[in-house]
């Protein structure tokens, strides 16, 4: 039976590769984006495709997209929370508005769409929710405080959500990609904090040069990640977490080693904190 997918941010970047892989597999796709004409043009025509408007920061859009999906295809098997943005900068220089916008798109946005999808999946007694996170959800990086806040939050929310929806036959998976050659670092997707604290000036210049220089040089192939995603979704059991890319695997292993080192360094003190009985 053909699966029915919903993919957010399907008109560009990684989401476009996901969309093309789903259609190539023969499944049905509800492709969403803030500009549906752009999404439709990017993906191309298909009898298995429904394009709908969805700004993930608007709960009403999410509810309307889910309703349209069910009316067209009758069910929803897979949700891919992919839409994202990148507000780069030092925390002291990031404006409160920029922090709010980052969280609205990359954390609250997936919550809005998932909240709209869950009733459908509960009625079905089955469904898979995949959220595209980042290695910035595993380890904090300089100049990425806003982005890491959203991605660490996304990972924690997804882990907790699994405990709540698992009894209904719903599975979740966190995907932590490393550097993939997408449009995330283009001027359209990356916003920089305004220069406001002179103490950061030299490092800010270096960081901006790094991020701009990394655009188009990433080693990860999003088309291969898209194929991997369709493979994982078709497994008998969805992995709870998938490290996407050799750099992601290395970084996660580094984080595990660091955590173990810190536990071992203070194990005696950590173990001495129970109430005396």
pLDDT digits over 54-104, tens only? 999 999 999 999 999 999 999 999 999 999 888 999 999 999 999 999 999
In this prediction the pTM is 0.94
What three-state secondary structure class fits 220? Answer: strand
Nearest-Å Rg of the Cα atoms of the chain is 20
Determine the pLDDT at residue 219.
Answer: 76
| Band (5; pLDDT cuts 50, 70, 90) | very high
Walk me through the domains of the chain, giving residue ranges and CATH numbers.
4-270 (3.40.50.720)
Distance between CA 235 and CA 225 in Å, rounded? 15
Q: Find tokens 């009894």 and name the residue.
A: 167
Buried b (16+ CB within 10 A) or exposed e, 216-248: eebebebbebbbbbbebbeeeebeebbbbbebb
Residue 23 has pLDDT above 90, yes or no: yes
Residue 183 has pLDDT above 90, yes or no: no
- Counted residue by residue, the chain has a size of 277
Determine the pLDDT at residue 217.
Answer: 62
C-alpha torsion angle, residues 78, 21, 74, 121 (rounded to 10): 0
How many CA atoms does the CB half-sphere of 132 hold within 13 Å? 27
Determine the pLDDT at residue 184.
Answer: 58
Which of 87, 90, 147, 192 is an active site residue? 147
Q: Residue 76's closest CA among 67, 85, 84?
A: 67
Determine the pLDDT at residue 185.
Answer: 55
Q: Is 87 noted as a catalytic residue in this protein? A: no
């Amino acid at each position: 039976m053909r699966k029915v997918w919903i993919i957010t941010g399907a008109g560009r970047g990684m989401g476009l590769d996901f969309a093309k892989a789903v259609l190539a597999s023969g499944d049905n796709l509800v492709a969403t984006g803030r500009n549906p004409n752009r999404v439709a043009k990017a993906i191309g025509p298909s009898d298995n495709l429904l394009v709908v408007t969805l700004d993930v920061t608007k709960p009403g859009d999410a509810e309307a997209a889910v309703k349209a999906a069910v009316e067209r295809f009758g069910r929803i098997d897979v949700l891919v929370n992919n839409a994202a943005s990148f507000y780069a900068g030092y925390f002291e220089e990031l404006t409160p508005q920029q922090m709010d916008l980052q969280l609205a798109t990359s954390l609250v946005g997936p919550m809005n769409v998932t909240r709209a999808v869950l009733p459908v999946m509960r009625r079905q007694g089955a469904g898979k929710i995949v959220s595209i996170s980042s290695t910035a959800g595993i380890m904090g990086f300089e100049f990425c405080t806003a982005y890491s806040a959203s991605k660490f939050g996304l990972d924690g929310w997804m882990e907790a959500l699994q405990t709540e929806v698992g009894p209904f036959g719903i599975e979740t998976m966190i995907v932590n990609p490393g550097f993939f050659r997408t449009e995330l670092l283009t001027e359209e997707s990356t916003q920089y904090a305004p220069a406001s604290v002179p103490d950061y000036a030299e490092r800010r210049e270096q960081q901006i040069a790094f991020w701009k220089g990394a655009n188009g040089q990433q080693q990860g192939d999003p088309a291969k990640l898209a194929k991997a995603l369709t493979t994982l979704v078709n497994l008998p059991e969805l992995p709870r977490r998938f490290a996407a890319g050799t750099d992601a695997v290395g970084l996660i292993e580094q984080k595990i080693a660091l955590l173990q080192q810190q536990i071992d360094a203070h194990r005696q003190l950590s173990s001495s904190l129970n109430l005396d009985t």
